Chains A and B, each alone.
Chain A
Amino acid sequence: MIKLIGAIIIIVATTWTGFEASRNFSERPKQLRALRAALQSLEAEIMYSHTPLHEAARRLAAQLSKPLDTFFDAFARKLTDTETTVKEAWETSLREVWKSTALKQGEYEIMKQFGETLGRHDRFSQQKHIMLTLSHLEREEADAIDRQAKYEKMVKSLGFLSGLLLIILLF
């Protein structure tokens, strides 16, 4: 009886681990898409409504959903509350939020490079930089979708099967 309960606990734990790992794979394309939408809105704010950066960031934070809104919120707050450059505020808020997202190092570098250009040019070169970043992110998104199709199912079944193997070995 005790053995059976232990076996069930093991299999639940490993299956859960597998699902948790697969969630990472499915979250990444979603968050990348949200990030691209955010940058597009930022472009619109800059180009057409001439919003100041902290105001634009606050509006984006209101529009977006979970992990990304904290990023823009932190960015806006840093810009208004503290004496700092845009680049530093962007980088520190990026670093703070990054751990809670499913995004990878490649996107981090892209966003960091984008932060270095933010607020330093006129509107049209700013728009060009946003376009460049968007195309980089698009490439990353294609990669993310590819990986999702490839590994999501694998990780799920791997979790379950490794639990089964563990039970048989320990029985």
Chain B
Amino acid sequence: MGLEVDIIFKIAGVGIVVAFLHTVLDQVGKKEYAQWVTLFGFIYILFQVASIVDDLFQKIKSVFLFQ
């Protein structure tokens, strides 16, 4: 369970920092960079979440399908 909480904090941290970067870049009129930064942050977190969901499905499979 410890790992799950860790990863939640990690995602929250990435979210906060990326949001700050987005605002800073947006304020000086570098909209396109801001969007790229946000997109990359999003993709990174998506991969993290995908791996966790994969774990979940593996666990479900092992519980219900009795391999």
Contacts and interface: CB of A to CB of B under 8 A. Distances in A.
Interface of A: 150-151, 154, 157-158, 161-162, 164-165, 168-169, 171
A154 B27 contact: yes
Given A161-B21, A165-B21, A154 B28 contact: yes
Contact-residue size bin, chain B (C-beta under 8 Å from the other chain): 10 to 19
A165 B15 CA distance: 9
Interface of B: 10, 13-14, 17-18, 20-21, 24-25, 27-30, 41, 44
Contacts of B29: 150
A165 B10 CA distance: 10
B20 A169 contact: no
A158 B17 contact: no
Contact of B20 (A150, A151, A161): A161
Contact of B44 (A157, A161, A169): A169
B24 A158 contact: yes
A150 to B, nearest CB: 5
Given A168-B10, A171-B10, A154 B17 contact: no
Contacts of A164: 13, 17
Contacts of A154: 24-25, 27-28, 30
